[in-house]
Amino acid sequence: MAEQLSSRIRRHWLPIVLLGLLALLPVVAALLGQSYYVTFATRVLVLAIAAVGLNVALGYGGMVSFGHALYVGLGAYVVAAMSEAGIQSGLAHLGTALAAGGLLAVLLGLVCLRTSGIAFIMITLAFSQMFYYVIVSLKRYGGDDGMSLPARSTLLGASLDSPVAFYYLVFAVLALALLFVASMARSRFGWVVRGSKLNARRMAALGYPVLRYRLAAYVLSALICVVAGVLLANLTRFASPSYLQWSLSGELIVMVVLGGMGTVLGPVFGAIALLVLEELLANAHLPMPFGADAMVRSHFMGLIGIFIVLMAMGTRHGLAGLANRKAAS
């Protein structure tokens, strides 16, 4: 029994350490007297959830979607619309957002999955931008300016106004999303989806309904992004049309690729690396000669781009693959 436990810990030490550090972060922030760290870390985890969702379609299914920001934005605007109508129940927000997101994902998926390659990328981008302009035209919900939430959603009657309580809620959702993806990857469903990514014709010849499996993966991916959108609206207490823009979809793709496509923890590594590096460089106040610190702040996106290129050239499976290699050596 002890040997089995030791073997499991050795195999899964990385997620244990990562989740342990994330669980302790509010405690460390409180000791340092830096409450901002909790808010920033909450944003990182929310976008990590969205990246975990995209990874189901992109990493496991090979579906390069530039339209998953649509589902993040949908989740956010459902919360905003229901809050404006006086409904503050978080469960009602989540249920409505999942129902709307699931229906939309099925309809769009049936259209998008009839295509592949560049056509699939462009049609997902087109749908996302279409809904972006629809939201911008809805003046009742703020139009181009977005819409503020009067308060955060309530959970079983309890308020989520405490930053620490909300952080742990987001942390729990991320842990559940990772557990779901890990179970899915080992299931028959996961193997069929990955097989369809490698050779859809061969999987169809073996008798698997490839379109049905790929559609299910696309919908599951979208639903996880919807959950991230619900949490994002509550974090910022705002619903913005920028949540539906292609730039957010591109950012999520970078997180998945940087962290490691088709790996369970890859999207989390990618989100942490990208957003922490962005925060450090954008607010660099290190003493540098010849005003180099100001230059770093002004051109931090270029430095991040160099880092992403070096990572893509240096490791095949992103940060997760690099971490696993280091653990095995």
The string of DSSP codes covering 165-234 is HHHHHHHHHHHHHHHHHHHHHHSHHHHHHHHHHH-HHHHHHTT--HHHHHHHHHHHHHHHHHHHHHHHHH
* Non-local CB neighbours of 297 within 8 Å, separated by 6+ positions: 281, 282, 283, 284
Is the pLDDT at 281 greater than 60, yes or no? yes
Is the pLDDT at 251 greater than 60, yes or no? yes
The tokens of 292 are what? Answer: 């180099």
Among 18-27, 144-153, 221-230, 276-285, which is the least confidently predicted range?
276-285
Confidence of residue 84 (pLDDT cuts 50, 70, 90): confident
158: part of which helix (H) or strand (E)?
strand 158-159
pLDDT, tens digit, for every residue of 109-139? 999 998 888 899 999 999 999 999 999 988 8
Give the span between the Cα atoms of 235 and 152, in whole angstroms: 8
Among 5-19, 51-65, 176-190, 211-225, which is the least confidently predicted range?
5-19
Is the pLDDT at 1 greater than 80, yes or no? no
Question: To the nearest whole percent, how much of the chain has pLDDT over 90?
Answer: 45
Q: What does the pLDDT read at residue 207?
A: 87
Q: Which residue has the higher pLDDT, 279 or 290?
A: 279
Q: Which amino acid is at 179?
A: L
**Per-residue b/e over 113-136, b at no fewer than 16 CB within 10 Å?**
beeeeeebbebbbebbbebbeebb
CA distances from 12 to 7, 9, 17, 99, 185 (A): 9, 5, 9, 34, 15
Is the pLDDT at 261 greater than 60, yes or no? yes
Among 19-28, 151-160, 230-239, which is the least confidently predicted range?
151-160
Q: What does the pLDDT read at residue 5?
A: 46
Q: What does the pLDDT read at residue 317?
A: 72
Q: What does the pLDDT read at residue 323?
A: 66
Give the span between the Cα atoms of 244 and 238, in whole angstroms: 13
pLDDT, tens digit, for every residue of 36-76? 889 999 999 999 999 999 999 999 999 999 989 999 999 99
Q: Which residue has the higher pLDDT, 27 or 10?
A: 27
The tokens of 95 are what? Answer: 């249920």
Q: What is the mean pLDDT of residues 272-297?
A: 68
Q: What does the pLDDT read at residue 18?
A: 81
Is the pLDDT at 97 greater than 70, yes or no? yes
Q: What does the pLDDT read at residue 297?
A: 59
Q: Which residue has the higher pLDDT, 150 or 167?
A: 167
Q: What does the pLDDT read at residue 294?
A: 59
